[in-house]
Structure 1
Amino acid sequence: MLHTMMTMTMLTLLIPPLTPPLTTRPNIARTMKLATAMSLGPALMFLNLGVQSITTNLHWHTTTYSLQLGFLFDTYATMFLPVALLITSTILEFTGWYMSSDPHQDRFSKYLLLFLIAMITLTTANNMLQLLVGWEGVGIMSFLLIGWWHARMNANTSALQAIVYNRIGDIGLIMTMAWLATNYNTWEIQLMFSHPHTPTLPLMGLILAATGKSAQFGLHPWLPAAMEGPTPVSALLHSSTMVVAGIFLLVRLHPLLTTSKTALTTCLCLGALTTTFAALCALTQNDIKKIIAFSTSSQLGLMMLTIGMNQPELAFLHIMTHAFFKAMLFLCAGSIIHSLNNEQDIRKMGGTQKTLPITSACLTLGSLALAGTPFLAGFYTKDTIIETLYASPLNAWALLTTALATALTAAYSTRLIFYTHLGAPRHNPAPTASETSPMQTRPILTLASGSIMFGLMITATLPPNAPHPTTMMLQIKLLALAATLLGLTCTADLIWQTTALTPQKHTTPHTTTTQLMFFNTTIHRQLPKTKMQAAQTLALQLNDLLWYPATGPMMLKTTNSLAASKTSSRLTGTIKTHLALFTAFTLTCPHMGQTTAP
């Protein structure tokens, strides 16, 4: 009965609209909705039976081991496919409105579809080479989509920055694949799991790959910079593709990680550091898209921490619940930005609750789901992660940092709501600030329905081997909610502290978090400047002043001086000696100097 209700609910969300599209282009979103409805069948069958399948279609090549093209449909693949297809269909429908003035909208939609296809290739891969194809595919498509507006210098720089940081992580994945081929003599995922122990070094390569793709601390600057791309790109990139690929890699290969406590501890510490660092940075940002981007990085850190707790199923469930409200937040941000003549500074917004009521309501709903408000999608997984962290026999440092990040999440979510659509308008009158198009509001409402109901659905129909709920005291059960309420209360108090237009006094902590702890300044400016100065001083000037003269004219001068001194030392300067030598040579060779008559 519950599965029937789920099917009816999802089909209600997927019914094609009766209103005609704004353009004469083929309705790609309608086709994607049909694909989503078709993917529900295998997902419901798997929930009933719990039997995974491996489909092998092509024999690639045989070297020292057989390499086959196969598709693995297990818990992760069958449950991820409907979510990814549904979110992509809503984003494509929203794209028809947001990119209506772009002359290459068809190409843009095709790029989004290729982005999704690459992610599906990654999630359904049955061997590491096929996974690498999807892995590099999402990287290439992110480069093309982030730099879509290639006439803007910032877009080109951000796209290049994304590909460079991801390439650093790709080195770890490629080196791990080389180790697996050398030592395990296979790239088949199921055969890799048959080995009882995997050394720590190849596992660190996997963690490095996930760090680059999922923007963990150290390789995180590309994620907020990627906001230079169109908003539909940000929505798809942050919800169901690209950034979750790194976490999905660790979830898929988690049986290898369980053999190394060092690898799990690294994931735990890296995730706790990332979730708190990103939440601190989001608290002081003024760009609406960067605030949501840092919230994504914070949630990815929470997923990494969950993997470190040896709970991959829980991390995967948080990926799916997070996808709905994160895509909705970006679509709401795109609706506001497009309606306010491309204004992204939240300090210049306000008053949109009257001009954009549906967008404002859904933005508030998404922010509450992000903060872990009870009975919304984010609550069912985020609260469970914090409870599991408390119940696990791990260090208290990760628990404290996660509780701090939870409070900060409520803080910057409240700040975003207040500055965006509360109070009086702080922007110039915008003639396009309205919600007249159904292609603008229907995708947002669809994702809002998913943000409300999907958490309850996955709780009622947990997949096989899902984490079981823990039993604990009521005070501990309310720990996450208390942290959320604390952050919300403190932020509300700070917001209403003054209404006067007084000049802002930026303190050192405020500037530090605004500038990402000066990470970009150090890595992107100071470090290259230091290297260039060292190259100029040590390489060029040192060569010009020392090595080139020493091996060139100075060496010739020294050589000539030594040769001349040795030659002149044989000459005594005495006339008698010269005459004696001349006479000796003349007597020895009497015919020297004589010429023969012709």
Structure 2
Amino acid sequence: MPASLLAIPLLPLVSFALTLLLGKRWGTRAHWLPIITVLLSFFCAVAAFFRVRSGIIINEDIYTWIHSGDLRVSVGFLVDQLTAVMLIVVTSISSLVHIYSVGYMKGEEGYYRFFAYLSLFTFSMLMLVLGNNFLQLFFGWEAVGLSSYLLIGFYYNKQSAADAGKKAFIVNRFGDFGFLIGLFLIFTHFGSLHYQDVFSQADSLAGQTLSFFGNPINLATVIALLLFCGAIGKSAQIPLHVWLPDAMEGPTPVSALIHAATMVTAGVFLVARCNPIFALSSFALNLITVLGAVTALFAATIALVQTDIKRVVAYSTVSQLAYMFIGCGVGAYSAGIFHLFTHAYFKALLFLGCGSIILGMHHEQDLRFMGGLKKRMPITYWTFLLASLSIAGMPGLAGFFSKDEILLMAFNTELSAGKFAWAIGTLVAFMTAFYSFRLFFLVFHGEFRGSEKQWHHLQESPAVVTLPLILLAMGAVGAGWFGIPAILGGSNHWAHFLEPVLGHPEMHISSLAEALLVISSVVAGACGIGLAYYMYRLHPHLPATIAQRLQPVYRVLLNKYYVDELYNAVITKQTLAFSRGVILRIVDLLCIEGVVNGVPRAIGLFSERLRRLQDGQVSHYLAWMGGGAVVLVVALLFGL
């Protein structure tokens, strides 16, 4: 195995360990080692990509990790077309986030700790995508969860940040529990957890059933749905989406890394990697498609009215991840990964652009106190515009190619949920363009609505912040050109590259119908931009009037459908009540405390009674000796 391949995950791991141990001594120079190692990791990932492109696929075990009975798991690497793409995404975005953080986190307490955690996050995701078996994937899966907890709660003295970190960690436990049961079933059926062993025998699941309360259930469906449980948690889909918006409490560079390249993309990667299993269950694919469509619409409607600049982009992430699941659900796994690839660049650009705005506004995040920033922040303005156009699906930009590919495949599929997903996806394309440009116009155009002090100090961010924005803007424009479809004169190199791993469904619609579908999605996006311009530039008082007239609807959307409140009433409060009433009073106080405190108390009482036997009275001692002799004689006589 090439040393450069081993270096991809090991360099960030070494950086994490050394920065955490020695970073405090390095002070303001603590960023150098993490930046250098992640850049080297990126160059090694590029080398691995070209090695795969030349036809060299690597699937090797490094050493045996677990050997217990029939369970044998190694630490090994699988570098195929899917892995090569994910390596480029993770290392490139992480490199730019590291550089950007030098400017954004300047002067923060725990500066070295932040960069150490960034390196741990990068290492965790790299191990997740590089593994050649499910257990190594699960190790990376849990490690990115740990990293997210540490980074979201970086400002641990801030109660909301500490709560958000715990929320992300706890909510993901629900999905990961199902994921783990899925791994148990895979090992039980296949006798192995290595991808090659499992996927080569995946067809053996066909017709296999599992008895559930006496009812037979398709085993492939059960395994697929259990694996998807993990994906729902990591990729923040309904009903486990609630942790992602609160993750905005962490530093903005963390948001960019989580949303664009690491944690939330893990669920999409899992479904794509396990496509031989998912392909065996039309029920699971239909469910993924429907859930993706519902989540896309749900998150987009919430994003329409949010006033926190980062929360708008956060709900946009939930919606865009749902697009990826629609692609995977209709069997177009390469289309789902294509959108993951393009989304990484324009979403990282949106978040880092938000961070630049927040820096310029002295950490103000409320859209209602911004406006007119174009004059003072031209680089942020133009890069943010490109990111907004890309996510809106405007022709020629990255988001256009990947989003339209998913909508085409959803319309083309024979799955019953396909047309439903296409219709919802087209509607969400309109809403995405609207809320993206609502944010854009509120921030950069119109009159400044902040304080005079904010306006006086408002200026463009330093070069260490704007350089990553410029580089990401190139990705937001050019990343989609790898997958230009035939209808637009391309040969879709992307789909052909990933086809050995993910396959690629054939198109069963005419060129005219395909062209009309593309035009419809572009028109939907253009209408969304036009409506945002009409409401927030031509008639800026109109949104408040509409909100007032539709007050009940506005309140529901602003409060995110009250899902958090529902979970708090149904789950959190009931769990706390059960914990206090049963676990605390019965299990803890009565059982555990009863044993821990009761045994010493019983020994003390017994010792107190026993101590009275030795009172210094010779007559008492003689009586006890005589009594003992009588007992012994009686025992001997009666053979006791």
Q: Report the TM range for the smaller structure's normalisation.
A: 0.7 to 0.9
**Per-residue deviation at 1:472?**
2.5
Do residues 418 (structure 1) and 441 (structure 2) align? yes
**Per-residue deviation at 1:486?**
2.2
Do residues 486 (structure 1) and 527 (structure 2) align? yes
Task: Report if aligned partners of 1:180, 1:186 keep a CA contact under 8 Å in 2.
Answer: yes
Do residues 195 (structure 1) and 202 (structure 2) align? yes
Could you tell me how far apart the structure 1 residues matched to 2:582 and 2:38 are? 59
Across the two proteins, how many residue pairs are aligned to each other? 518
Q: Give structure 1 stretches of 5+ with no counterpart.
A: 1-21, 541-598
User: For each residue in 1:122-181, what CA deviation from the matched residue of structure 2 results, as whole angstroms up to 9, or x when unmatched?
Assistant: 101111111110000000010010000011111111111111110000101111111122
Task: Report if aligned partners of 1:296, 1:326 keep a CA contact under 8 Å in 2.
Answer: yes
Q: Secondary structure at the match of 1:478?
A: helix
Do residues 515 (structure 1) and 559 (structure 2) align? yes
* Alignment match of 1:134 (pick from 129, 140, 158): 140
Specify the alignment match of 2:471 in structure 1.
Answer: 446
Aligned ranges 1:142-153 → 2 under 5 Å: 142-153=148-159
Specify the alignment match of 1:105 in structure 2.
Answer: 111
**Per-residue deviation at 1:525?**
3.6
Do residues 475 (structure 1) and 482 (structure 2) align? no
Task: Report if aligned partners of 1:386, 1:402 keep a CA contact under 8 Å in 2.
Answer: yes
User: For each residue in 1:85-131, what CA deviation from the matched residue of structure 2 results, as whole angstroms up to 9, or x when unmatched?
Assistant: 11111111110011111132121111011101100111011111111
Could you tell me how far apart the structure 2 residues matched to 1:476 and 1:499 are? 33
Could you tell me how far apart the structure 1 residues matched to 2:576 and 2:465 are? 49
Distance 1:186 1:362, change over 3 A: same
Aligned ranges 1:164-563 → 2 under 5 Å: 164-193=170-199, 194-196=201-203, 197=205, 198-393=219-414, 394-395=416-417, 396-428=419-451, 429-430=453-454, 431-435=456-460, 437-459=462-484, 461-462=493-494, 463-465=497-499, 467=504, 470=507, 472-473=511-512, 474-496=515-537, 498-499=539-540, 505=548, 507-525=551-569, 528-529=572-573
Task: Report if aligned partners of 1:411, 1:487 keep a CA contact under 8 Å in 2.
Answer: yes
- Once structures 1 and 2 are overlaid, which stretch shifts more, 386-395 or 182-191? 386-395
TM-score, normalised via structure 1 length: 0.82
Could you tell me how far apart the structure 2 residues matched to 1:436 and 1:409 are? 27
Could you tell me how far apart the structure 1 residues matched to 2:111 and 2:251 are? 12
Distance 1:483 1:99, change over 3 A: same
Q: In structure 2, what residue type is equivalent to 1:180?
A: I
Distance 1:66 1:530, change over 3 A: closer
Could you tell me how far apart the structure 1 residues matched to 2:298 and 2:471 are? 32
Task: Report if aligned partners of 2:441, 2:537 keep a CA contact under 8 Å in 1.
Answer: no
**Per-residue deviation at 1:80?**
1.6
Q: In structure 2, what residue type is equivalent to 1:56?
A: D
Distance 1:475 1:163, change over 3 A: same
Could you tell me how far apart the structure 2 residues matched to 1:146 and 1:370 are? 25
Q: Secondary structure at the match of 2:65?
A: strand
Q: Secondary structure at the match of 1:426?
A: coil
Q: In structure 2, what residue type is equivalent to 1:205?
A: L
Specify the alignment match of 2:62 in structure 1.
Answer: 57
Q: In structure 2, what residue type is equivalent to 1:519?
A: V
- Once structures 1 and 2 are overlaid, which stretch shifts more, 463-472 or 33-42? 463-472
**Per-residue deviation at 1:313?**
1.4
Could you tell me how far apart the structure 2 residues matched to 1:88 and 1:139 are? 16
Specify the alignment match of 1:590 in structure 2.
Answer: none
- Once structures 1 and 2 are overlaid, which stretch shifts more, 129-138 or 511-520? 511-520
Could you tell me how far apart the structure 2 residues matched to 1:347 and 1:118 are? 38
Task: Report if aligned partners of 2:433, 2:529 keep a CA contact under 8 Å in 1.
Answer: yes
Q: Secondary structure at the match of 1:199?
A: helix
Task: Report if aligned partners of 1:47, 1:461 keep a CA contact under 8 Å in 2.
Answer: no
Specify the alignment match of 2:20 in structure 1.
Answer: none
Task: Report if aligned partners of 2:356, 2:461 keep a CA contact under 8 Å in 1.
Answer: no
Q: Secondary structure at the match of 1:315?
A: helix
Q: In structure 1, what residue type is equivalent to 2:183?
A: M
Could you tell me how far apart the structure 2 residues matched to 1:256 and 1:535 are? 39
Specify the alignment match of 2:208 in structure 1.
Answer: none
Task: Report if aligned partners of 2:346, 2:476 keep a CA contact under 8 Å in 1.
Answer: yes
Task: Report if aligned partners of 1:165, 1:212 keep a CA contact under 8 Å in 2.
Answer: yes
Could you tell me how far apart the structure 2 residues matched to 1:298 and 1:67 are? 36
Could you tell me how far apart the structure 2 residues matched to 1:57 and 1:367 are? 44
Q: In structure 1, what residue type is equivalent to 2:62?
A: N
Task: Report if aligned partners of 1:59, 1:67 keep a CA contact under 8 Å in 2.
Answer: yes
Distance 1:134 1:535, change over 3 A: closer
Task: Report if aligned partners of 1:122, 1:130 keep a CA contact under 8 Å in 2.
Answer: yes
Q: Secondary structure at the match of 1:344?
A: coil
Could you tell me how far apart the structure 1 residues matched to 2:348 and 2:583 are? 50
Task: Report if aligned partners of 1:61, 1:67 keep a CA contact under 8 Å in 2.
Answer: yes
Task: Report if aligned partners of 2:482, 2:493 keep a CA contact under 8 Å in 1.
Answer: yes
Q: In structure 2, what residue type is equivalent to 1:103?
A: E
**Per-residue deviation at 1:83?**
2.2
**Per-residue deviation at 1:497?**
6.0
Could you tell me how far apart the structure 2 residues matched to 1:207 and 1:179 are? 14
Could you tell me how far apart the structure 1 residues matched to 2:581 and 2:76 are? 55
Task: Report if aligned partners of 1:69, 1:130 keep a CA contact under 8 Å in 2.
Answer: yes
Distance 1:204 1:500, change over 3 A: closer
User: For each residue in 1:155-211, what CA deviation from the matched residue of structure 2 results, as whole angstroms up to 9, or x when unmatched?
Assistant: 111111111110000101111111122222111111111131253212211111111
Work out the percentage of aligned pairs sharing the same amino acid: 32
Distance 1:60 1:31, change over 3 A: closer
Distance 1:48 1:288, change over 3 A: same
Distance 1:452 1:161, change over 3 A: same
